[in-house]
Structures are given as structure tokens and as C-alpha cells.
Structure 1
Amino acid sequence: MRKVTVYDTTLRDGAQAEELNLTSEDKVRIAHRLDDLGIHYIEAGWPGSNPTDKKFFEIVKGDTFENAKLTAFGSTHLAKKTPEQDPNLAALLAADTPVITIFGKTWDLHATTALGVPLERNLELIANSVGYLKERVDEVIFDAEHFFDGYKNNPAYALEALKAAQDAGASRLVLCDTNGGSLTTEISEAVRAVFDELPDAAIGIHAHNDSELAVANSLEAIRLGASQVQGTVNGYGERCGNANLCSVIPNLELKMGIETIGRENLKRLMITSHFVSETANLRPFMRQPFVGASAFAHKGGVHVSAILKDARTYEHIPPETVGNEQRVLLSDQAGKSNILFKARELGYELDKQDATVDRLLKELKLKESMGYEYSVADASFELILQQALGKPLDYFHFRNFFVVDAKREEDAEPFTEATVIVDVKGQVEHTAATGMGPVNALDRALRKGLERFYPGLSEIRLLDFKVRVLSGAVRDTGGTASFVRVLVETGDKHERWTTMGVSHNIIEASWQAVVDAINYKLFRDDQRRKG
């Protein structure tokens, strides 16, 4: 099997993405996860450019990496200095990595305009820098910056720049679509020309995504003979990002029969993708191919009916090969198959002809038309499933609540108090509590009335609270009367669950979600006691 090495630049190129900020310690954690995934090269940063990267290289000097070679990144030496005098090259060597990657200008426009040097001098900068580093480290990779734009503008000079790096000892020549504007046909033409001119060269591809073609362009270069692919986890990077390794790797392994990190490591792709997102404090992209939460999620009833018979009907690969899982969503587009699948996931075996399924489907479609979204609130769905099965939960009965919010001129924060009246096991509980806002006050007042009967409620914690204005549900009175959906994520020492409420009144929507969260906790405690 043909093999392609994977060169990850999440910690350098990916870190240049808007809204993405990594500390030196974050970079260390991610580097070890990439190593665990089986990545071959980790470009950790530009040690001469900022304190974060400099500190990273200091931290990892004593660390062991089983699969990856750490790589320091920088530029060719300054035009007015020799390699020996150049601070950038000195910083690269001080990073003490086995591999150094340097970029140089291969577009004549950049040589004459950006650097302001004659074309011949630019070739000297490339050759001198590669040669100087090659004498001092195991491996030097040359990133041919703007190669494809350079080839379109002056093909002879772009190829000459590659040859200068190769002759000076570069172990690999990486063709960069730095502006991300090349079409796949243009990538193909240029790569073929490189192999014609330099048949013995080891070629890599580094594509940016400004035309939404970074993955396609990377795959095409590899199809034509490139033996290394550069990219980032989740496609993070400057502007529109880099080639997404979470798509490149499985396409190579599963579609093109080219080995990269290996099939066993491929199963860790999704968890690695999410680890990088969470470390960067960014929400994972749900609709990302292969590793997104929606990549193998099915909503339409026809689709669900088919995948229950054979998943290949609507899934291009088995989701577990990349560490993902099949999901069935509940919505107003759901059919009976969706209900059966979701019920089976929760441990309920229902018959398609059972009247319960018809009742549940009718209830589901009605609720969804009002703005409920059960695909993201499994706990609320299980509660209405219990009701449809004729097993409604009867832990307490709501009578009323009363919430007061008040703020005076001298107050920094509003004062909030909630009063709740519920019937619990034949007793009326009338409780009040203050809180940090009306939802917190209601939650505290309700639990104060229930914990005497259900001590387990003291274990639960609110983990997340989301409010979304529902489009298309605005009343005539204006935008502030919109319907809202509230999602509440709650957890205890055993698990975490999500519940939901919908209303034009945000307190009422929140109350629904909180009540469902408490009912679900009590329901799950009952199940655990029954074994």
C-alpha cells in the first residue's frame, strides 16, 4: 500500500485563525494528542516570532513523542545578512527540533515586491538558508510559498526556486497554495510540471481553503504523486483556513487506499477533532464531514426507515471507522421509524403497529410545530415517551409560581425572588428563594420544596443554559414578543441530560426545562433503584 506522511500545522498555521488562541500549555496538550493519533510531523510554531512559541519549545525539550517529529518553522534568512548572522535561523536551531521547515518566495512578484530583492538574490536566499540548516539538523523541509500563483505567473522561475532548494539539500519540497485561490485543474497542471522537471523530488502539498477547495486540491496533488500532505485539525487557519486533515486523512485511507495514520488510529479521529476544539474553546462544527455530530445524523423518516435495513443506503462509510456514531433525530419530519429507533436506543422495544407509536408521532409533530426540538433534548423526549406509554410521572403537581425582579438606582444587580407552590405526596409545599436571576430563583425555590421528599435532588447541577429566539414565531406586537426555546443541560454523579421548554415568555420556557430536568433526575433514580 502506498503511504503518505501527514504534517500537522494546527499549532502554527491553525493558530493564526480568527478567534483561536492557544497558550503554550494548550499547544503541549494538543501536540501529544496529535502524536497519539499517529501524525508524522507536528509543526509546533515559529520560535523566533513570539513568546508563546518560544516557551512551547522550551517546555517540550524533555518530552517524548512516539510517532511524530516536532518541527520548527521559519523563513529564509534576511537579504542583508548571511545565514550565520540571521536571528531567525538562530532561533530555529535553538528550538532543538530534528526537523526545520523554512518557507521561501517562489512567486516572482513576492521576491521583487514583498522582499524587494532581485530574482537571482531570492534564489540565493533559498539555497543559502537550506544549505546552512541542512548541515545542522537531520531534515530540512522547504515550503514553496505561493508556488501555484508563482507558477501561473512565471512557471520557469517558480520551478527554478524549487530546484535551488533541492540542490541545497531540502529533503522535501512542499507546494503551497498560500492564497487558496487555485482551482483543482490548476493544481493538477502545476504538480505534473514539477514531476516532469524534478522527477526525483519528494513533493508535499499545502493548501488553503479560500476557494473551498483545500481538501480537493490536496487529494489531487497526492493522486499525482505527492507523498506528504500538510493541513490542520478541523481546517483551522488564517482567513478561510487550511486543508482539513479530518477530511483529508479518511478520504486517503478509506476512499483512495493510501495509508496515512493507519485504520486503528483513524478510530480516534473524532475524539481528537473535538479535543482540539474544546482546548481552543471553540464549539465543534456540527456539520463537519466525518467527525461532526451531524455527519451520520438522520432526520427524514424515509432515510431512517432505510438505514434500519442497511446503513449503506444513506451513509457513505461506517461511522465507527472514524470514531463517530449513527444518530437518528426526532422532528416534525420524523416517521414511525424515527420513533422506533429512538425508543430502542432508550431501551424500549415498540411495535410499529402499536397505537403508542401513532400517539407519540402525533404529539411529536405538534410539539415540533410549536418550536420544540427533541433532537437536542433526549431527556424531554423520554418523558413524553413515558406519558405516551401510559406511565406519566407523578412526583409532584404544580400549582403556581410567582417571580419578582426589582432594581433600584443604587443597585448594581437586580434583586430576584421566586415563590413556588406544589403538591408533593398529598402535601402542599409553599416555598420561596432568592437567586441570581429569575431562573436560578425558581430552581432554588422548587428544589427547596422537593428535597425533603427526594434528597437525591441535592446532587444535580445546572451545567449549561441556552436561549434561542425562534424565527417565524414573532407576534404582531413586535420582535420582543418572539417565541424562545430554552435548553438546560443538567448533571449528577451518574450522567448528564438535556431538557427543553418553549414559550413567548422566557421564564415560562425556562420553568418547563427546569421541571423536566428535575422529573428526569427522579425518574432515573427510580430506574437505578429497580436495577
Structure 2
Amino acid sequence: MIGRKIEIMDTTLRDGEQTSGVSFSVSEKLTIAKLLLEELKVDRLEIASARVSEGELQAVKKITSWALEQKCLNKIEVLTFVDGGKSIDWMIDAGAKVQNLLTKGSLNHLTHQLKKTPAQHFADIKANIELAATHDIKTNVYLEDWSNGMRNSKEYVFEYLDFLTAQKTERVLLPDTLGILTHDETFKFITEVREKYPTTHFDFHGHNDYDLGVANVMEAIKAGANGLHLTINGMGERAGNAPMASVIAVINDFLKDVKITVNEKALNKVSKLVETFSGFRIPVNKPVVGANVFTQTAGIHADGDNKNNLYFNDLMPERFGRKRKYALGKTSGKANIQKNLQDLGLSLNDEELKKVTQRIIELGDKKEVVSQEDLPYIISDVLDSDAIEKRVVVENYVLGHAKGMKPSTTLQLIVEGVQYEAHAQGDGQFDAFMNALKKLYKTHSKKDLPKLIDYAVRIPPGSHSDALCETIITWKLEEKEFITRGLDSDQTVSAIKATEKMLNII
């Protein structure tokens, strides 16, 4: 058993396309097929179901034409049906040379769906296999609903396998069609089949309805399965199929007595492409390929990573062409911030780091997500604010905006310990704020407010978060121009912060 080869068959383009709302175009199918074989290096592809549509036929023709040129046509498989030779004619037209024939693996399906006896079904299958062979088409056979067959009609399953193993077939495909197996049953059933037919090639096709897809795959391998059917991102009908990325990681890390050809470094690239083409979004916590799975959030974890990688496991992101990240939020702490600063080539002293950490915690309490790209702007804002002596404080304000009414602001300002208040309307909330501020200065001060000559709003370049926007205001006082910046998750508030800085400067 040492080093025995496990074939990996990807069925993203056939079973995965049965994900609700997913349909790949001809060019998308060809691109994915090339990537799966050339980059990911799976052993086989199931790319379509026969007789589905004209678009499906054109996609298969494109893929088989390319595969013929690459001398890998034997790796391209198509799901076919026991239909009196119609699927075989479709295969011939499509240029495909391997059929995965769908047959009944449980007496329940045979009796109630086909309404045939086992003998009648076996005769039809035999005729199909022989017809395929006359056209140089190889046959693998699916035992649809095999898992329920083993649970409820085992005598029928073994009667069928006795017949099938005497036919000219390449592989027998054992699907848990409805995703009902436990890992114990998977091991037990495949062991029984393996012991009775030791020379037959068996594939296991797992579904994930109870979230047991990966566990069942592990047990199938232990029981002696020769091949696995997987999909990128776990795509497939209902809860989907056993996911490619997780299974490959599990095999490489825990099943040392088997070998596979899959290139795990390409998993993330293929996963993202399939996500883009399918519109089927990857959950952020999806193992191996999810956006968050290599992101440390807690500051204690980042601190531990600095101290002999205490929070690393064998799933190193570099294995999959990825990089570890350290989230910035209310639980991140100084260690996370230092990790991000290192990536950006920045450094802060202890006091500056403490102030920046506090600002990020404040944003986290507002449920804002801060990205690494936001960090330089937070640093600039915090350190810039500290450099200005705060003699004027915008203590409170109420911003009002209602349909059919002019926006209004009630402003409370503290100047060197004295509180002032004013109310005004304007063309917008910030305009109303400025009108209230002008009213206060006209009443209580001989100073003139600077003129606002430019107002710009932007998010930090490269940021993928909605945590921050930066408002940059250019002021003119007499002949002198100067700029202040405000940073906040709310555009109007960031403008008010920039204005407060202006008040302290003048």
C-alpha cells in the first residue's frame, strides 16, 4: 500500500455546474479545463453531460479538440445515459472518447424511476458498453444512489457488481448521490466492495450535505478507493461536492501512504478563476482558499507568531500561493499593527504605536474593517492631530437632513474652555455646519474664518475596506493657503475633523 496512486478526477465543469444559478460559457469551460490539467495537474476531467444543449456540445468539441492536440484526450470524460445509443452518437459528434455511464446503484431507483428489473437494466447496460467499444469509446460506470443501495438493497448492489465487473469497463464510480453517508459507513461499504472485487478500479464521488464530504473522502481512501471525484470550491448541487482544496491539503498532510499529482500551489489561482467565471462566491472562512483563513485577528496570535511562530500550523499559506495577513481591528493589538508596518516598511516609536493602536480600536468598535492600505492614513491623521495644540474643540453637533427641508446643523464649540452654540441651515450638511461656525465667529470673535477654496474626498488608494475616507480641505487666510485633513468612516464627519484642525491652526 506504500505510495499507492490515487487518481483525482475534477467534475467542476459537469457536477459543479449543477450549482444553482451557475452556467459556464464555451470559452470559460475551455479556459478552466486547460487550467485544471496544465496548472493544477488533476488526472481526469468530467466536463459535461451528453445531450444537454447545443452550447454544451460546442464546449465539449472545443475541449476535445484542444485535448487531442495535447495528446490527453483520454483524460476528458462525459456523463452519458442508458438511452439506446443516443448518448454515444452525441459523444462521437463531440469527439469525446471516455463515457461515464449513469446507471442505477439502488433497487429503489431502479424500481421506481426506470420501472425495470435488474436483468432488463443489465442487458441495456451491456448493449451500451458494447456499442461504445465499437466506436473506440471507453466506459466508466456510475452506480447512482450507490450509498442508499448499500444501506437498503445490498444484495442488488453486489448482483449488479458481479455483472459489471465481467464487462469491459475501465472504472466503477461509487457516488454518495444524496450526501447521506457517515464516515463510518463510507469506510465499511467501500471495504466490503474492495474485498469482494480486489482488482476493480473504484472511484468515490462524495457530496457534502452533512458537511462530511472531506471526512468521507479520507475514509474512502483508507478503505482502498482508487480515485476521487472533487470540485473546485466544493461546487455542486445542494450543499455541493467534496471540495478540491481541502481534500488535497488533507491527503498531503495526513495520508502519507498515498500519492497524488495535484499541484497544491495552483489551488488558489484556479479557485479564484472559477469564482469569477461562476459568480459562486467563496465563503471567507472556506479552508485553504477563503479570504480570511490565513488572517490572524487577535493580537495575542500576532505576538505569538513573532515568538517562534507559536500560532502556525502545517497549512502554511505559501503552500497555496498565498501570504499570511494580520487583521486590523479592535482585537488586533500592537503586534498585528507592527506586522503590517513591517510589510509597509514603516516604523513607529512606542508612544506613536500606542496612539495608532487606540485609533484602530475606536474604528473597530464602530464595526469598521481597517485594511493595511488604510494604515499610513491613520498614522498621518493621528500624528498630525497630536502636533496641533487643541485650543478649539468641536464638542457636539447634530446634523439634520430630511426630504423637502434644507439640511441643518446645531453646533456646540468649546474655545479655551468657554462653550458656544449655534444653529444654521445650508445646501448640505457640511455647508450647514460651516454656516453655524461662521455665525459663532461673527458673534463671539473678531477673527475672520479662512475661505474654503478646495474640498476633496478620497479613500486610501488600494484600500478594499469601507472603514475610512479622507477629506482634504484647502483654506485661504489673507494671502496664505494651507491644507488640513480629516479621517473618518463618515464623509461629513471627516470634513468636520479637518475643519477642527483649521480652527486650532488659526
TM-score, structure 1 as length reference: 0.73
Q: Please, which runs of 5 or more residues in structure 1 have no aligned partner?
A: 78-82, 407-416, 432-445, 451-459, 461-487, 503-507, 516-531
Q: Give the distance between the partners of 2:246 and 2:387, measured in 1 at CA.
A: 45
Partner in structure 2 of residue 383 of structure 1: 377
Kept in 2, the 8 Å contact 1:126–1:161? The answer is no
Report deviation, 1:140: 1.6
Of structures 1 and 2, the larger Rg is shown by: 2
Partner in structure 2 of residue 63 of structure 1: 66
> Does structure 1 residue 171 correspond to structure 2 residue 170?
yes
Report deviation, 1:514: 9.5
Kept in 1, the 8 Å contact 2:209–2:239? The answer is yes
> Does structure 1 residue 23 correspond to structure 2 residue 25?
yes
Kept in 1, the 8 Å contact 2:40–2:270? The answer is yes
Partner in structure 1 of residue 179 of structure 2: 180
Q: Give the distance between the partners of 1:356 and 1:393, measured in 2 at CA.
A: 12
| Corresponding pairs, count | 427
Partner in structure 2 of residue 519 of structure 1: none
Partner in structure 2 of residue 437 of structure 1: none
What amino acid maps onto 1:338 in structure 2? N
Kept in 2, the 8 Å contact 1:218–1:229? The answer is yes
Q: CA RMSD in A?
A: 3.3
Q: Secondary structure at the match of 1:140?
A: strand
Q: What is the correspondence of 1:218-297 to structure 2 with a 5 Å cutoff?
A: 218-257=217-256, 258-262=258-262, 265-297=263-295
Q: 1:326 aligns with which of 301, 324, 333?
A: 324
Partner in structure 2 of residue 42 of structure 1: 45
Q: Give the distance between the partners of 1:136 and 1:308, measured in 2 at CA.
A: 63
Partner in structure 1 of residue 479 of structure 2: none
> Does structure 1 residue 500 correspond to structure 2 residue 464?
no
Partner in structure 1 of residue 296 of structure 2: 298
Residues 1:91 and 1:213: Cα distance change in structure 2 (over 3 Å) = same
Q: Give the distance between the partners of 1:96 and 1:239, measured in 2 at CA.
A: 31
Report deviation, 1:325: 1.7
Q: What is the correspondence of 1:105-116 to structure 2 with a 5 Å cutoff?
A: 105-116=104-115
After superposition, the C-alpha distances for 1:335-363 in whole angstroms (9 at most, x for unaligned) are 22112112112211346xx1122222222
Residues 1:317 and 1:61: Cα distance change in structure 2 (over 3 Å) = closer
Kept in 1, the 8 Å contact 2:234–2:244? The answer is yes
Q: Secondary structure at the match of 1:254?
A: helix
Q: Give the distance between the partners of 2:323 and 2:117, measured in 1 at CA.
A: 56
Partner in structure 2 of residue 372 of structure 1: 368
Q: Please, which runs of 5 or more residues in structure 2 have no aligned partner?
A: 389-393, 405-426, 435-448, 470-487, 496-506
Q: Secondary structure at the match of 1:209?
A: coil
Q: Give the distance between the partners of 1:278 and 1:20, measured in 2 at CA.
A: 11
What amino acid maps onto 2:254 in structure 1? K
Partner in structure 2 of residue 4 of structure 1: 6
Kept in 1, the 8 Å contact 2:65–2:95? The answer is no
Q: 2:35 aligns with which of 19, 30, 33?
A: 33
TM-score, structure 2 as length reference: 0.76
Kept in 2, the 8 Å contact 1:419–1:430? The answer is no
Kept in 2, the 8 Å contact 1:378–1:498? The answer is no
Residues 1:134 and 1:405: Cα distance change in structure 2 (over 3 Å) = farther
Report deviation, 1:501: 4.2
Report deviation, 1:129: 1.9
After superposition, the C-alpha distances for 1:386-414 in whole angstroms (9 at most, x for unaligned) are 334558899xxxx9x999988xxxxxxxx
Q: Give the distance between the partners of 2:101 and 2:199, measured in 1 at CA.
A: 21
What amino acid maps onto 1:62 in structure 2? S
Kept in 2, the 8 Å contact 1:38–1:67? The answer is no
Q: Give the distance between the partners of 1:266 and 1:92, measured in 2 at CA.
A: 32
Report deviation, 1:133: 1.7
Q: What is the correspondence of 1:510-521 to structure 2 with a 5 Å cutoff?
A: 511=491
Q: Give the distance between the partners of 1:27 and 1:308, measured in 2 at CA.
A: 44
